[in-house]
Amino acid sequence: MYSLCMTHKKLFFLCVSLILLYTIDIGGYGLPAVNLGYTNILDGGPIRPYPGVYWQQYNIYYHTNKFLNAEGTLLGGIKSPTFNDWSTVTQLIYQFKNKLFFGGMPGFSFVLPVTLYSAIGCNRLGVTDAGGGVGDVSFGVYTQWPAVMHKDRPLFIHRLAVDATFPTGTNRLPKRQINPGEAFYSLSPGWSATLYATTRLGFSWRLNYLWNSKNKKIDFKAGDAVFFNYSVEYAIKPAWYVALVGYCLQQLSDNKALGFKVPDSKERVFGMGPGSAYFFSKDLVFFGYLYGEFGVRNRPQGISFVLRLVNHF
């Protein structure tokens, strides 16, 4: 009887290990890819304080050669493969001029990510890559409040938003473990704000909660998580900001595989680096961010480079 129970336990943990392996993607071993450092400087609203149409284009490069486990050491105790990904994200936003909800201006957004290049080197982990393709589309609604003024200058500005992501992208699970799209739905409410300490110095942040539905392809559900982008920005000139930017993510609950909780499966990551923003005009802004990751658990640890363009029509 004891031997039979041990056999069943070994079989269960083998299934869990395989499922965890089959859910590895650029966003981690269970969680979907989320906005980690894509938006930072002056994120509370100065980029879009006016009604109308906004087009935002993000170009994101990610590189890693470390896949880490729950202890922060190499996954499987073996050398990790090199992984490179280059993606572009198109976001369209419409902000109404009508003021609702205590003076806030409502709006909605549409996001379409596309993986242009994605490749993982030969590895003993058995992880394979689906290559490029279209990612999952997202739709969001938000309310943008105008700036609170103090002594004829902005003091505080913020926005509340909810985004829903749909499994519309390329996904080849379980044959390929790294995919442009996920095979489940996600919902993420968030709060973005900027506090102006002086006319030149500001503090910005974006706090999000993440809920994920079950991935029915492999009977797997990622736990809930919170993620946080932040920035300390300084205006060298009225049109040019430099900043210390960063992000962090912490999974709050363990993943579930085959209906069972997977112990020690929570993801965690911190990223930090330099950033800059340049206002060509009040309607055209360019951003650049460079991040190095640390304190990573249950996901890859690497570097990322983000270029972002915002155009208001």
What are 159-169's pLDDT values in tens digits? Answer: 999 999 999 99
pLDDT, average across residues 277-292: 96
pTM: 0.90
Instruction: Answer whether CATH 2.40.160.40 is correct for domain 2-312.
Output: yes
What are 163-215's pLDDT values in tens digits? Answer: 999 999 999 988 898 999 999 999 999 999 999 999 999 999 999 999 999 99
* Nearest by Cα to 138 from 231, 210, 191, 86: 210
- Strand, helix or coil for residue 303: strand
CA distance 76 to 69: 8
- Which pLDDT value is given to residue 151? 87
- Split at pLDDT 50, 70, 90, the class of 85 is very high
- Split at pLDDT 50, 70, 90, the class of 48 is low
Q: Which residues, in sequence order, are CB contacts of 106 under 8 Å at separation 6+?
A: 95, 96, 98, 100, 141, 142, 143, 144
What are 117-150's pLDDT values in tens digits? Answer: 999 999 988 899 999 999 999 999 999 999 999 9
Q: Is the pLDDT of residue 100 over 90?
A: no
* Nearest by Cα to 230 from 28, 27, 33, 42: 42
Average pLDDT of the residues of the chain: 90
